[in-house]
Amino acid sequence: MLIVERVERLRAQVREWKSEGLRIGFVPTMGNLHDGHLSLMELARQHCDKVVASIFVNPLQFGPNEDFDAYPRTFEADQQKLQMAGVDAVFYPSVEEMYPQGQDQTLVKVPAKLTELLEGASRPGHFDGVTTVVSKLFNMVQPDVAVFGQKDYQQFCVIEQMVRDMAMPIELIRGPIARDEDGLALSSRNQYLSSEQRQIAPKLYVTLLDVVTALKSGNRDFQALEKAAIQNLSAVGFDSVDYVKIVHPQTLLESAPQENEFAVLAVAKLGHTRLLDNILVS
């Protein structure tokens, strides 16, 4: 497995592979990897001849109240996991390599109707940082396929619109949410849960399943379903709930009663740990 820190070296390797007619897959990450990330590597391997993973903690997507310096850097452990997963190359750039002009640089922005609701409502500018870094990484890696996880569903939708609007020649694949045996969505944040909080955390998924059951039975009182879900999460021990929303899976706006496809999205907190989950309903 190659470990590449410079863009020039990365591009040279990708050019060599493409000259051999090989198909390139790409999985961008911020490191601190778990089995959910590794499932995306496996998915990329199923669609491509060579897989490139990136590890880069992106300062542009951290807000003023979010501690960029405290984000866990676990490169040695990540490297071993990627090796075992059969990844062919790891792009591990410095901040200076990614942003040689500093943070005063061109930003890639997707329309606000998709980026200023849900996660964007509480994290202004977050998605501008995401689309900017992903756009740069796409230009650096030049993959045929890029794989992202469903857990950050809004992020996937934002990147999907960027790729479509900018006519990027990249096929996007959305990997399913990897879950623990009790249903908890795998996340780097789970390591911060106390043993008591870890017992409560899977009830986020259970609550979403209850919403899905109601939708499939024909219940279209979205506000009542959302309110009941929030109340249930509070009752089972969550400290606060940022939102539970039933939305259209493409626009992320409130669904119409006649719709038959939904995305049920939720964010709830246990202590300072913010847990995201979602289920797509068809």
Q: What is the largest CA-CA distance in the chain?
A: 59
The sign of the CA dihedral 129, 135, 141, 144 is positive
Q: Give the CA radius of gyration of the chain.
A: 19
pLDDT at 67 over 90: no
DSSP 8-state code for residue 34: -
37, 126, 248, 272: the catalytic one is 37
Residue 103 has pLDDT above 80, yes or no: no
Confidence of residue 70 (pLDDT cuts 50, 70, 90): confident
**Of the candidates 27, 137, 134, 127, the residue with the CA atom closest to the CA atom of residue 82:** 27
- What's at 125, amino acid-wise? G
Instruction: Report the SS3 class of residue 44.
Output: helix
pLDDT for the residue numbered 223: 96
Whole-prediction pTM value? 0.95
pLDDT of 108-145, one tens digit each?
A: 999 999 999 999 998 999 999 999 999 999 999 999 99
Residue count (the chain) = 282
State the average pLDDT over residues 104-111. 92
Give the Cβ contact number of residue 281 at 10 Å. Answer: 18
Question: What is the CB neighbour count within 10 angstroms for residue 20?
Answer: 9
Written as one string, the DSSP assignment of 182-200 is TSPBP-GGGGG--HHHHHH
37 is catalytic: yes
The tens digit of pLDDT for each residue in 195-220 reads: 999 999 999 999 999 999 999 999 99
DSSP H helices in the chain: 7-19, 35-47, 75-84, 95-98, 112-115, 119-122, 126-141, 153-165, 195-200, 203-216, 222-235
The string of pLDDT tens digits covering residues 5-62 is 999 999 999 999 999 999 999 999 999 999 999 999 999 999 999 999 999 999 999 9
